[in-house]
């Protein structure tokens, strides 16, 4: 079994429950939701603004590449959870689920201990940014993952991790943990269909960064709603994220593109014009 499947992203808090989401499943869920948002919900003017700001060698990439980048960024957003400090949020003295998860991690070769330093400094979004940078991605791309909880990381936060003081908590310098992190980044390329050479050449304008960050945040929120995309039994390690995303969209019943911001703006303009006309005709 692929060892990354033993890493968890979400787990039930019910003392009697033994439900979870393996990290690769949650990452896949967010990628599939992001693709649906991009294809079916994002207004065309927003899509155009993002496409204009996705560059390779200073030139705008093909719109199809931008869609692949959306899927890549959505998948890789939580790679920072593949760290000792995050995965150690399991306790042999806690629930039976925690005991099962901890045992599975340790038997799969992921060394863990209790009491890692730097809970604030090693928040998983920050670590996602650093892992992408280590893998050769532009900071302008990495920041989308780094800011997926709403606030982009600053230089001081990134430097704090890069200086090595929290390597133990992040798994940096450990071949097992770094191997898992890099494998998940590679899996994001496979899942999205984006080549590594192209992906590492991409830079984003600030407008594209902001819009893509908003898209990934929304996709993550949807995929994290366990009423829409439920946890699975602990003995399961796979789930079809494309099916899960479609089912979540059915439950969400988001407004159609015509009812989105673009459509509302158009209708508001038309109604205001009609109102002015009626005023002047009196």
From the first residue on, what is the mean pLDDT of each consecutive set of 10 residues in the chain (282 residues)?
91 79 98 96 93 97 98 98 93 75 92 87 96 97 93 92 95 96 98 97 97 96 95 95 95 74 56 53 44
Residue 279: what pLDDT? 47
Give dist(CA 71, CA 28) in Å, integer: 9
**Which is it for strands 19-22 and 202-204: parallel, antiparallel or unpaired?**
unpaired
Residues 6+ apart with CB under 8 A from 207: 49, 50, 52, 53
Among 234, 240, 244, 166, smallest CA distance to 8 is for 234
- What is the CB neighbour count within 10 angstroms for residue 40? 11
Residues 6+ apart with CB under 8 A from 80: 86, 123, 124, 125, 126, 127, 128, 129, 130, 131, 145
C-alpha distance from residue 278 to each of 1, 20, 227 (Å): 70, 59, 47
- The phi, psi pair for 211, rounded to 5°, reads -70, -40
Three-state DSSP class for 184?
Answer: helix
Three-state DSSP class for 164?
Answer: coil
Chain CA centroid to CA 197, Å = 21
C-alpha distance from residue 153 to each of 72, 80, 186, 224 (Å): 20, 13, 23, 22
Token pair 């150690």 in the structure block, residue: 88
- The phi, psi pair for 22, rounded to 5°, reads -60, 145
Q: Where are the alpha helices (DSSP H) in 79-205?
A: 84-87, 96-107, 124-134, 139-146, 155-162, 167-170, 175-192, 196-199
Token pair 């984006």 in the structure block, residue: 194
Among 144, 140, 155, smallest CA distance to 55 is for 140
Residue 259: what pLDDT? 56
Give dist(CA 181, CA 179) in Å, integer: 5
Largest CA distance in the chain: 81
Three-state DSSP class for 60?
Answer: strand
**What pTM was estimated for this model as a whole?**
0.89
| Domain 3-254: which CATH number of 1.10.3210.30, 3.40.1260.20, 2.102.10.10, 1.10.3720.10 | 1.10.3210.30
Residue 92: what pLDDT? 52
């Amino acid at each position: 079994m692929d060892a990354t499947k033993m890493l968890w992203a979400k787990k039930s808090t019910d003392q009697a429950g033994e439900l979870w989401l393996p990290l690769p499943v949650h990452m896949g869920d967010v990628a599939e939701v992001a693709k649906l948002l991009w294809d079916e919900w994002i207004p065309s003017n927003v899509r155009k603004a993002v496409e204009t700001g996705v560059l390779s060698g200073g030139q705008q990439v093909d719109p199809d590449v931008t869609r692949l980048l959306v899927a890549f960024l959505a998948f890789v957003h939580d790679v920072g959870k593949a760290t000792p400090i995050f995965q150690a949020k399991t306790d042999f003295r806690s629930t039976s689920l925690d005991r099962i998860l901890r045992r599975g991690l340790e038997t799969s070769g992921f060394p863990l201990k209790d009491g890692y330093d730097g809970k604030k400094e090693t928040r998983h979004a920050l670590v996602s940014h650093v892992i992408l940078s280590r893998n050769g991605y532009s900071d302008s791309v990495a920041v989308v993952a780094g800011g997926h909880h709403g606030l982009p990381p600053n230089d001081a936060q990134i430097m704090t991790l890069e200086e090595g003081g929290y390597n133990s908590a992040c798994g940096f310098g450990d071949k097992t943990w770094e191997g898992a992190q890099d494998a998940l980044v590679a899996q994001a390329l496979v899942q999205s269909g984006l080549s590594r050479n192209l992906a590492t050449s991409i830079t984003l304008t600030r407008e594209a960064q902001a819009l893509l960050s908003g898209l990934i945040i929304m996709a993550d929120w949807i995929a994290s709603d366990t009423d829409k995309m439920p946890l699975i039994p602990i003995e399961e390690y796979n789930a079809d994220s494309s099916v899960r995303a479609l089912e979540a969209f059915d439950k969400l019943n988001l407004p159609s593109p015509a009812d989105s911001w673009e459509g509302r703006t158009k209708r508001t303009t038309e109604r205001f014009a009609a109102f002015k006309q009626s005023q002047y005709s009196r």
